[in-house]
């Protein structure tokens, strides 16, 4: 899910796996742009009003990062077995209801946040580390990806502009370990090379602050995916036009109780905890929006947390995950084929900042590569079907992967 270079993260103690794919240095100011749906074939433009700036050669770096990750996937997986480059281990995909509050402040009523509206949804819980067989008890970033269904309106990506879904991607840490695409590119290359000297360069790629964030992100142990706090880490636009603003998202459990971690946890105890919770009853979580309250809360700086004492988070929706049986071969296969992307979104929820701009290129490329290697199409605009219906549905069309060295048009 932020995806991070799980290849690199596996080398850090605990391995931080991937929230996203990608950060900040000396930036160049960009003229103000209107909040229009961008051309998906071009690199995203920057919204100066909300504080976005483009780095020199940013689109070229996005391309180089995506190709480096692609090379790693092709190296590590045979055709038919390609996994996500980050967050490959799922604890399960569950059906849910996303119910927007009956009353909200006017400033928050944008996009899907229409008071009283309820959406069906799929939610995927995951571990971030590149190793899908890694024991859950080991520290890691934990992911939560939400796909709302039956969301009307043209979406940001032209390839799926008529899709009826809206994605939100979150992890279990409020900040990311890199702000600078140059540094991030070096990190990806060193993390994927496997060489001794390249490995030794990783702490220098991260820098002291980035290394501390990476270690903290990768050290988290949890007892149940339903009882964990998740953050978007990166900012998003809320609204369009003159009243658009920068916000961050988070999700928390409705209850304050925490299950104890098992004394002898199995390799996949988080899947077991999720299964046990939903076998006995419904689960409840809250979706929160945190509006920016100061220009000092930069949209390009994802290494600094927006303190909730200065910028409160507001519950805008409740997430009900009904009692269900989700751990079936059919539903697990469907889960593996699902595609999540922060740019699968309405213009009112446009991703902001350099990390999100890089993600647009990287998520699309890597998802296409993975699905093409596995000879399946990407499931994004999908109905909320039963596991039985999913198992008998016609498979989606296989997709073509762009040329290995295809170029990305700059604005």
pLDDT digits (tens, 9 = 90+) for 182-231: 999 888 888 877 778 888 888 888 999 999 999 999 999 999 999 999 99
Which tokens hold the place of 297?
């809360």
Confidence bin at 48 (pLDDT 50/70/90): very high
Confidence bin at 396 (pLDDT 50/70/90): very low
pLDDT digits (tens, 9 = 90+) for 356-373: 999 998 888 777 776 677
Of the candidates 27, 13, 18, the residue with the CA atom closest to the CA atom of residue 298: 27
pTM of the model: 0.82
State phi, psi for 64 to the nearest 5 degrees. Answer: -65, -40
Contact 168, 145 (CB under 8 A): yes
What pLDDT score does 330 carry? 93
* Alpha carbons within 13 A on the beta-carbon side of 355: 32
CA 252, CA 311: separation in Å to the nearest integer? Answer: 17
User: What residues contact 106, with CB distance under 8 A and at least 6 apart?
Assistant: none
Of the candidates 172, 170, 261, the residue with the CA atom closest to the CA atom of residue 213: 172
Which tokens hold the place of 242?
């003159």
Of the candidates 62, 352, 299, the residue with the CA atom closest to the CA atom of residue 185: 62
DSSP codes, 91-138: EEEEEEEEEE-S---GGG--TT--TT-EEEEEEEEEE-SS-TTS-TTS
What pLDDT score does 13 carry? 33
Tell me the CATH number of domain 6-257+268-392, given options 3.40.50.300, 2.40.180.10, 3.30.300.20, 3.40.190.10: 2.40.180.10
């Amino acid at each position: 899910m932020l995806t991070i270079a799980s290849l690199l993260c596996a080398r850090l103690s605990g391995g931080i796996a991937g929230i996203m794919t990608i950060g900040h240095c000396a930036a160049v100011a960009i003229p103000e742009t209107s909040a229009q749906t961008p051309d998906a074939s071009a690199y995203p433009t920057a919204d100066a009003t909300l504080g976005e700036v483009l780095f020199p050669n940013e689109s070229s770096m996005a391309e180089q990062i995506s190709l480096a990750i692609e090379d790693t996937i092709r190296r590590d997986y045979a055709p038919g077995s390609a996994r996500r480059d980050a967050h490959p281990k799922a604890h399960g995909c569950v059906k849910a209801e996303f119910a927007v509050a009956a009353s909200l402040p006017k400033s928050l009523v944008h996009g899907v946040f229409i008071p009283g509206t309820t959406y069906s949804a799929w939610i995927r819980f995951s571990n971030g580390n590149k190793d899908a067989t890694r024991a859950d008890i080991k520290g890691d970033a934990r992911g939560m990806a939400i796909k709302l269904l039956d969301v009307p309106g043209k979406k940001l990506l032209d390839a799926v502009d008529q899709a009826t879904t809206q994605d939100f991607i979150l992890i279990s840490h409020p900040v990311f370990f890199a702000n600078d695409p140059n540094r991030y590119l070096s990190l990806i290359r060193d993390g994927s090379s496997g060489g001794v000297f390249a490995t030794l360069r990783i702490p220098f790629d991260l820098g002291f602050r980035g290394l501390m964030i990476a270690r903290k992100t990768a050290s988290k142990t949890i007892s149940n995916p339903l009882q964990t706090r998740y953050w978007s880490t990166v900012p998003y636009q809320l609204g369009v036009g003159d009243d658009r603003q920068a916000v961050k998202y988070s999700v928390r459990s409705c209850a304050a109780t925490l299950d104890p971690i098992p004394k002898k946890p199995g390799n996949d105890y988080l899947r077991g905890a999720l299964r046990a919770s939903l076998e006995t009853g419904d689960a409840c979580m809250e979706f929160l929006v945190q509006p920016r309250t100061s220009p000092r809360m930069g949209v390009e700086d994802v290494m600094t947390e927006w303190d909730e004492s200065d910028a409160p988070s507001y519950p805008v929706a409740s997430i009900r995950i009904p009692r269900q049986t989700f751990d079936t071969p059919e539903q697990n296969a469907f889960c593996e084929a699902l595609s999540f992307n922060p740019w699968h979104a309405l213009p009112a929820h446009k991703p902001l900042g350099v990390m999100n701009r890089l993600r647009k290129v990287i998520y699309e490329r890597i998802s296409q590569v993975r699905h093409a290697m596995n000879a399946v199409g990407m499931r994004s605009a999908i109905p909320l079907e039963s596991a039985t219906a999913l198992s008998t549905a016609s498979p989606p069309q296989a997709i073509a992967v762009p040329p290995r060295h295809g170029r990305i048009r700059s604005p």
